[in-house]
Structure 1
Amino acid sequence: MSQEHVRISLTLERLWQFSLQYYSVREVKEACLHLQNHFNGNVNLLLLLKWLDEQQVAFFEQDWQTVSECISRSETLLHSYRELRRKLKKTLPDTLYREALQFELQLEKQQQSDLVDCINSLTLINNEDAPLTQRYCRQLGAENLAQQFAKPAPKR
């Protein structure tokens, strides 16, 4: 069966706004942090995959590696910075800690920009298989979290 190629309009701002709204749901935030802290999952990648699931589109199976590679550089930086911020939490004044969180948010947004560029360079198809979020959870061994991400994103 041949897959029909799909065009979507993915911009950084669209993904960022979707992410802020979706992540604001307490259960989603908790599941994302659990995925990150216990399965080494990438929350920005998960949020992108959820956005694609909402559009009912996917990329080809062989493109998972490309998507992973496009965030590997920023993931290393983000992970190192996050660890440093956590270590300094008890010693930093509140105002400085909030600035550190804001900077981490900028790193997150840069990573989403890398993901948007990557996805926009791939051929996308109608998703006739399991949702991308479910496939990602399965790859990480976090199948129990997949049901949380299967729920529709809240509408604005």
Structure 2
Amino acid sequence: MTHSALPRLTLERLWQFSLQYYGDRRIKDACLKLQNVYGGNVNLLLLLKWLDEQKLALNQQDLVALNRALQRSETLLIQYRELRRQLKKEVPDSLYRESLQFELLLEKQQQSDLVDCINQLNLSKTSSAKLTQIYCEQLSADSLVAIFNPSA
């Protein structure tokens, strides 16, 4: 299948998919566990889930490129998230909510970096959607596979 025949990912498409998918309480809890316990990146997982649903495949070099695309924002995001958690008990609720909104902007920027990267890659169709499973296994988060891929 040619590259042009594949679904083109836009930031808005990934963001809306992410909001809907992450809106499931079980998924949200699993994503937070992936992030906080296993050191995974939720935005990368959400992108991989979107790719799985589109039945699109990545190779190892593609995954390296995606991880490189994350590097620009990942350190800032991790530091900001930690600062926000520390401030939670010390600032008024309104200021804390504003800090959450700013963190969401950082998350969206990270998704933008991922979308820019994915649109540079030559994706191909696949019959087996296993990217989220592979990512979880790489992080030794095997217990989360059944949540992200109920049919696995």
TM-score interval, normalised by the smaller of the two chains: over 0.9
Distance in 1 (alpha carbons) for counterparts of 2:24 and 2:109: 22
CA distance in 1, matches of 2:2, 2:130: 17
Q: For residues 50-88 of structure 1, what are the alpha-carbon distances to aligned partners after superposition, in whole Å with 9 as ceiling and x for unaligned?
A: 001000002222221111010012011100000000001
For the pair 1:51 / 2:50, whether they are aligned, the reply is: yes
1:33 alignment counterpart: 32
CA offsets 1:4-52 (integer angstroms, 9 cap, x no match) = 4542210000000000000000000000000000000000000000001
In 2, Cα distance between the equivalents of 1:147 and 1:19?
18
Matches of 2:128 and 2:79, distance apart in 1: 35
The residue aligned with 2:41 is: 42
Q: CA deviation at 1:89?
A: 0.4
> How many angstroms does 1:100 deviate by?
0.2
SS state of the match for residue 121, structure 1? coil
Q: Which ranges in structure 2 are unaligned for 5 or more consecutive residues? A: none
For these two proteins, the number of residue pairs brought into alignment is 149
Scaled by the length of structure 1, the TM-score of the pair is 0.91
Letter of the 2:34 partner, please give it: L
The answer to whether the Cα contact below 8 Å between 2:45 and 2:135 also exists between their aligned partners in 1 is yes
Percent identity (aligned): 62
> C-alpha separation between the residues in 1 aligned to 2:131 and 2:21?
16
Question: Structure 2 length normalisation: TM-score?
Answer: 0.93
Gaps of 5+ in 1: none
Could you tell me how far apart the structure 1 residues matched to 2:126 and 2:42 are? 21
Identify the range of structure 1 (125-134 vs 30-39) with the bigger mean alpha-carbon deviation. 125-134
What is the CA–CA distance in structure 1 between the aligned matches of 2:34 and 2:58, rounded to whole Å?
A: 22
State the Cα deviation string for residues 111-142 of structure 1 (Å, max 9, x = none).
Answer: 00000000000010112455100000011010
